[in-house]
């Protein structure tokens, strides 16, 4: 029989079981949801904490300076609608940014304590107290926020990668999943484990930052406990 008439069986494509398809579909959904939430949290300047109602707020400034005219609550200094997001605060200032141009400690050293106290109302009007973590030199609070922000950015990158990984596996274009292999299943498991571990770390950092007492290098607000002045948002 001529070779051209010989039966040549079609090359069968690897078959993906329904359970594997469902697993990849679930991976796409979860990765997409995480990406969407991460985007919203990074874009919203009030996504983490917001000030409590004025009736629940204690004095923020040091009591010993009350006789010199410094007696403010957090809402009087920052505004009643003030909040802090993962990437920036309600005024748009990032964790290492100061709208006043310099830290409070520097102004006190250059101008003097009483002159700076007298200038507080005008600084409030120009949003100069924001971002307070950097302005007040609350370094542990600032570093906690930066650590959480870094992990969120890493999570954003990894979840976008996982969206394409699972979609390409479903449509059959992923070389790692075309044939059963250790790499094919170990890689996504590793990435999902990193995401889980990172999320757990972020939660621990947030709890520490919210309930811990942070020392600040300035005479006006020598220390702050966020839970006394703020509440969790969405």
Print the SS3 string covering the chain: CCHHHCCCCCCCCCCCCHHHHHHHHHHHHHHHHHHHHHHHHHHCCCCCEEECCHHHCCECCCHHHHHHCCCCEHHHHHCCCCEECCCEECCCCECCCCCCCCCHHHHHHHHCHHHHHHHHHHHHHCCCCCCHHHHCCCHHHHHHHHHHHHHHHHHHHHHHHHHHHHHHHHHCCCCCCCCCCHHHHHHHHHHHHHHHHHHHHHHHHHHHHHHCEEECCCCCCCEEEHHHHEEECC
Mark the ranges of the chain whose per-residue pLDDT is less than 50.
5, 7-8, 10-12
- Tell me whether residue 3 is in a domain: no
pLDDT of residue 56: 95
pLDDT of residue 188: 81
Residues, the chain:
234
pLDDT of residue 7: 45
Record the tokens describing residue 144, joined without a space: 């906690």
> 215: domain range?
19-232
- Tell me whether residue 11 is in a domain: no
pLDDT of residue 181: 62
pLDDT of residue 230: 96
pLDDT of residue 166: 84
pLDDT of residue 79: 92
- Tell me whether residue 2 is in a domain: no
- Tell me whether residue 139 is in a domain: yes
* pTM for the predicted model, two decimal places: 0.80
- Tell me whether residue 226 is in a domain: yes
Number of domains, the chain:
1
Handedness of CA 202, 208, 210, 215 (dihedral sign): negative
- Judge whether 156 and 38 are in contact, CB under 8 Å: yes
- Tell me whether residue 1 is in a domain: no
């Amino acid at each position: 029989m001529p070779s051209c008439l010989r039966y040549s069986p079609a090359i069968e494509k690897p078959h993906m079981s329904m359970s594997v398809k469902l697993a990849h579909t679930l991976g796409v959904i979860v990765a997409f949801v995480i990406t969407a939430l991460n985007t919203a949290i990074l874009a919203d300047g009030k996504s983490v904490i917001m000030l409590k109602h004025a009736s629940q707020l204690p004095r923020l400034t040091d009591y010993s300076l009350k006789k010199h005219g410094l007696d403010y609550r957090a809402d009087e200094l920052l505004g009643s609608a003030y909040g802090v997001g993962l990437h920036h605060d309600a005024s748009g200032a990032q964790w290492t940014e100061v709208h006043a141009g310099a830290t409070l400690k520097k102004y006190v050293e250059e101008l003097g304590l009483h002159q700076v106290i007298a200038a507080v109302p005008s600084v409030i009007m120009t949003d100069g107290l924001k971002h307070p973590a950097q302005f007040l030199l609350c370094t542990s609070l600032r570093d906690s926020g930066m650590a959480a922000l870094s992990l969120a950015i890493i999570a954003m990158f990894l979840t976008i990668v996982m969206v394409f990984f699972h979609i390409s596996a479903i449509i059959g274009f992923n070389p790692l999943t075309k044939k059963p292999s250790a790499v094919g299943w170990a890689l996504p498991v590793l990435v999902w484990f990193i995401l889980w571990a990172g999320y757990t770390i972020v939660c621990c950092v947030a709890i520490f930052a919210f309930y811990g007492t942070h020392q600040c290098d300035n005479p006006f607000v020598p220390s702050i406990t966020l839970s006394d002045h703020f509440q969790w948002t969405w």
